[in-house]
Amino acid sequence: MSQTYLSLTVELPEEQSEAAQDLLHEAGAMGLEVRDREAPPMPGVRGPNPGEAILIAYFEEADTAEAARAQLAESLPDARLLLEEKPQQDWSNEWKALIKSVQVGRLWVGPPWEADAAPKDKVRLVIEPKMAFGTGDHPTTSLCLAAIDAYMGSHPGASVLDVGTGTGVLAIAARKLGASRVVGTDNDPTSVELAHENAAVNGTPELELSGKELTQVEGTFELVVANILANTLIALAPLIAPKVKDRLVLAGVLAPQKAEVEAAYRAHGLIPEAGAAQGEWVRLDFHR
Ligand SMILES: C[S@@+](CC[C@H](N)C(=O)[O-])C[C@H]1O[C@@H](n2cnc3c(N)ncnc32)[C@H](O)[C@@H]1O
């Protein structure tokens, strides 16, 4: 295997994205990442400018990558192109060093290969890092875990709704800390599948995890948590707010976005409380 690979980053008007994707596939891209309005990047990853998309194509051979770059430059002159050589990494092992276990309140969350080292007095959640967000070590997840720990401590047996469940980490944590009914939803089918796997591994197969729209979820919940991006939280406010019986916890919000998200939920009758922050990320807490 070659010691390097090539990555071609393409930034272009969103309406040209599909044509560029076809072109990149035909030109021999081995893989393609798309960041646009439909597939916004995860928190912490650079997103496209408004009205634009970012495509990142991966190539094994420099000649193929250079030919693709030239072809794109000719066919789509508005596209901004950056071709870079990157060192090939042994992802099978190196990424493991990047996954850290975390302890939040009564909880320990970490990957299987660290589980034996988890302190015995902690409630242990094992999440194998795969294609869903939520291994516990992202600040937005930790902020939510802390809120769940505190709420379940003072409201044993509360019902919990986790919107944008990802790996299911928050839903599983709530159940392990004594929640009664726990529902998790996600609009990404892979996340729902992995959340089911994680629930089974962690001994909580009774969680109601699905890709249901919130309008399809029955009832209200004492605690609702949603760790999604700010623009999605604002769009979902009319659907999330009616589900809250007592407490709402929102994360995935950067400090400058806080006021706008807060206003969207105030408008639906929720009353802000002091939240929390970790680095650039804030958590917004509300009550009915
Ligand atoms: C930042 S991750 C949070 C995962 C996990 N709850 C955590 O705290 O680590 C956001 C999740 O929300 C999901 N999501 C994004 N938009 C959504 C929507 N409109 N409805 C439901 N889920 C959504 C994504 O697929 C992703 O799994």
State how far the alpha carbon of 199 is from the alpha carbons of 1, 19, 205, 208, 241, in Å. Answer: 38, 40, 5, 10, 26
Classify 222 as helix, strand or coil.
strand
DSSP class of 97: G
Q: Tell me, in angstroms, the distance from the centre of ligand 1 to residue 188's CA.
A: 8
In the sheet with 160-163, reading across from the earlier edge strand, the strands are: 208-210, 182-185, 160-163, 221-227, 244-254, 281-287, 271-278
> Which protein residue's CA is at the shortest distance from atom 20 of ligand 1?
187
How far is 151 from 156, CA to CA, in rounded Å? 8
Cβ atoms of 15 and 53 within 8 Å: the answer is no
pLDDT score at 1: 46
8 Å CB contact between 202 and 229: no
Nearest to 134 by CA among 158, 170, 89: 170
Domain ranges in the chain are: 4-88, 98-287
CATH topology of domain 4-88: Alpha-Beta Plaits (3.30.70)
DSSP characters for 3-54?
SEEEEEEEEEEGGGHHHHHHHHHHTT-SEEEEESSSSPPPTTSPPPPTTEEE
Burial of 78 (0-12, 13-18, 19+ CB in 10 A): exposed
Q: Which residue's CA is the nearest one to ligand 1's atom 18?
A: 187
Question: Residue 102, SS3?
Answer: strand
Ligand 1 atom closest to the CA of 135, numbered from 1 = 9
Per-residue model confidence (pLDDT) at position 5: 87
The best mutation among 186, 209, 210, 223 to test binding of ligand 1, ranked by most ligand atoms within 8 Å of the C-beta, falls on: 186
Tokens 């042994």 correspond to 90
CATH class entry, domain 98-287: alpha beta
**Cβ-contact 83, 67 below 8 angstroms:** no
Q: Which residues sit with their C-beta closer than 6 Å to ligand 1?
A: 43, 132-134, 140-141, 144, 162-166, 169-170, 185-188, 191, 227-228, 232, 236, 252
Residue 157 CA to ligand 1 center (angstroms) comes to 24
Count of Cβ atoms closer than 10 Å to residue 280 Cβ: 12
Question: What dihedral angle (degrees, nearest 10) is formed by the CA atoms of 20, 22, 23, 27?
Answer: 140
Query: pLDDT (tens digit, 0 to 9) for every residue of the chain, 288 residues total?
Result: 457 889 999 999 999 999 999 999 899 988 888 888 877 776 677 889 999 999 999 998 899 999 999 999 999 999 999 999 987 765 556 566 677 899 999 999 999 989 999 999 999 999 998 888 998 889 999 999 999 999 999 999 999 999 999 999 999 999 999 999 999 999 999 999 999 999 999 999 999 999 999 999 999 999 999 999 999 999 999 999 999 999 999 999 999 999 999 999 999 999 999 999 998 899 999 999
Both tokens assigned to 285? 């807490």
Distance CA 126, CA 117 (A): 12
> Quick one: pLDDT at residue 239?
98
